[in-house]
């Protein structure tokens, strides 16, 4: 019954998100619509990163996006003011979603498709939605495309793909622990609970916990100790292996997951690779974008 209640809540969340995010600015589109050079643009919207190694994930996204949508102008927007400010000090200018849309308007683009590179449709995603709504009147078409986990099908597909990325040297008794960001009290945080359920259902020694939501590391620790786990592979369930992965997951500070696991007699084997470094994961985002462009 508990699992049924979880899935009913998640279904309602997905339905509500769909209405809030897309019903506000849905419009007629041709299913065979093609991009027109100098008129159509794709805006890739992410929290951002200032870590050069983590940025490999964004390079991969852009490479695959350009291959799939060759006639579209592709631009970026970072939602994090702190990251934009840090990059500006190094001479690298990244725009906020609002600034990026204003620049697209000034440059004469008529049709803009904003692709969210968030994992779930949480608080940050809905802030982007609000920005898109604000600028809707400035374009012939301005539509936002959903984040990675926009349905239970997306959850199941992503979980299967990420479990396939666990190092092959893992032994049967070794655990796998994915680190998700979490979304606090936002309803979409339940999507991480669904992902955790799918992970454990697929692999009894695999778990997901979040930094700022549910499930928590404490929730998972009980299961790890109950199974007498001595080694765990740690993988980011995030688009990039940035600050959270380097510090909160694999850092040497006493409150990092690696340190906490060590205190509980569990050796950690961090895998420093963000989800967006895997082509198959990026393809899920791009499938969302393709459907948005085609009006499906």
Q: Are residues 191 and 227 in the same domain?
A: yes
Is 127 a residue whose pLDDT tops 90? Answer: yes
Report the CATH number that the domain containing residue 183 is assigned in CATH.
3.40.50.1400
From the list 181, 186, 244, 288, the catalytic residue is 181
Q: HEC profile for 169-224?
A: CCCCCCEEEEEECCCCCCHHHHHHHHHHHHHHHHCCCEEEEECCCCCCHHHHHHHH
Q: Are residues 111 and 85 in the same domain?
A: yes
Closest CA to 250 of 238, 80, 77, 30: 238
Looking at the 3D structure of the chain, how many domains does it have? 2
The arithmetic mean of pLDDT across residues 175-179, rounded, is 98
Is 176 a residue whose pLDDT tops 90? Answer: yes
Q: Determine whether 186 is an active site residue.
A: no
* CA dist., res. 200 & res. 229, Å (int): 15
CB atoms closer than 10 angstroms to residue 55: 15
Q: Residue 34: is it exposed, middle or buried by C-beta count within 10 angstroms (0-12/13-18/19+)?
A: exposed
Segment 273-285, tens digit of pLDDT? 999 999 999 999 9
- Note the pLDDT of residue 185: 85
Q: Are residues 19 and 162 in the same domain?
A: no
List the Cα angle 259/263/269 in 5-degree steps: 50
Q: Helix, strand or coil for residue 74?
A: strand
Q: How far is CA 278 from CA 2, 43, 165, 237, in A?
A: 33, 20, 9, 12
Q: Are residues 124 and 165 in the same domain?
A: no
- Note the pLDDT of residue 19: 43
Category of 99 on φ-ψ map: left (φ > 0), alpha (ψ -120 to 50) or beta: alpha
Segment 178-213, tens digit of pLDDT? 999 998 889 999 999 999 999 999 999 999 999 999
* CA dist., res. 10 & res. 277, Å (int): 27
The arithmetic mean of pLDDT across residues 97-123, rounded, is 97
The arithmetic mean of pLDDT across residues 22-45, rounded, is 59
* CA dist., res. 41 & res. 72, Å (int): 5
Q: Are residues 95 and 116 in the same domain?
A: yes
Q: Are residues 12 and 70 in the same domain?
A: yes
CA torsion 184→185→186→190, rounded to 10°? 80
Q: Are residues 190 and 243 in the same domain?
A: yes
Query: Which has the higher per-residue pLDDT, 141 or 7?
Result: 141
Residue whose structure tokens are 């997901």:
208
- pTM of this prediction exceeds 0.95: no
* CA dist., res. 296 & res. 294, Å (int): 6
Is 26 a residue whose pLDDT tops 50? Answer: no
CB 27 within 8 A of CB 141: yes
- Note the pLDDT of residue 31: 32
Q: Which residue range forms the structural domain that includes residue 255?
A: 152-274
Q: Which helix (H) or strand (E) holds 41?
A: strand 40-46
- Note the pLDDT of residue 105: 97
Q: Are residues 58 and 137 in the same domain?
A: yes
Q: Are residues 100 and 205 in the same domain?
A: no
Q: Residue 78: is it exposed, middle or buried by C-beta count within 10 angstroms (0-12/13-18/19+)?
A: buried
Q: Are residues 136 and 7 in the same domain?
A: yes
Category of 182 on φ-ψ map: left (φ > 0), alpha (ψ -120 to 50) or beta: left
Q: Are residues 236 and 99 in the same domain?
A: no
CB 82 within 8 A of CB 45: no
Q: Are residues 10 and 117 in the same domain?
A: yes
Find residue 247's DSSP bridge partners.
Answer: none
* CA dist., res. 87 & res. 49, Å (int): 9
């Amino acid at each position: 019954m508990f699992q049924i209640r979880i899935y009913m809540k998640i279904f309602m969340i997905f339905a509500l998100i769909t209405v809030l995010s897309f019903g506000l600015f849905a419009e007629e589109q041709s299913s065979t619509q093609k991009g027109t050079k100098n008129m159509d643009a794709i805006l890739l919207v992410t929290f951002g990163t200032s870590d050069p190694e983590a940025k490999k994930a964004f390079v991969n996204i852009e490479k695959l996006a350009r291959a799939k949508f060759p006639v579209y102008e592709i631009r970026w927007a970072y939602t994090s003011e702190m990251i934009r400010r840090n990059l500006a000090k190094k001479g690298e200018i990244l725009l906020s979603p609002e600034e990026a849309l204003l620049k697209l308007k000034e440059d004469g683009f008529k049709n803009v498709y904003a692709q969210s590179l968030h994992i779930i449709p949480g608080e940050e995603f809905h802030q982007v939605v609000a920005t898109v709504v604000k600028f809707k009147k400035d374009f012939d078409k301005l539509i936002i495309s959903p984040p990675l986990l926009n349905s239970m099908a997306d959850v199941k597909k992503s979980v299967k793909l990420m479990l396939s990325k666990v190092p092959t040297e893992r032994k049967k008794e070794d655990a796998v622990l994915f680190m998700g960001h979490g979304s606090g009290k936002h309803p979409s945080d339940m999507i991480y609970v669904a992902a955790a359920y799918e992970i454990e259902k697929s692999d009894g020694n695999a778990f997901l916990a979040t930094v700022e939501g549910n499930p928590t590391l404490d929730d998972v620790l009980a299961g790890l100790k109950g199974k007498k786990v001595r080694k765990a592979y740690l993988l980011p369930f995030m688009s990039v292996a940035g600050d959270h992965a380097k510090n909160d997951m694999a850092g040497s500070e006493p409150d990092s997951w690696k340190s906490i696991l060590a205190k509980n007699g569990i050796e950690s084997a961090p895998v420093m690779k963000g989800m967006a470094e895997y082509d198959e994961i990026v393809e899920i985002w791009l499938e969302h974008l393709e459907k948005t462009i085609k009006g499906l």
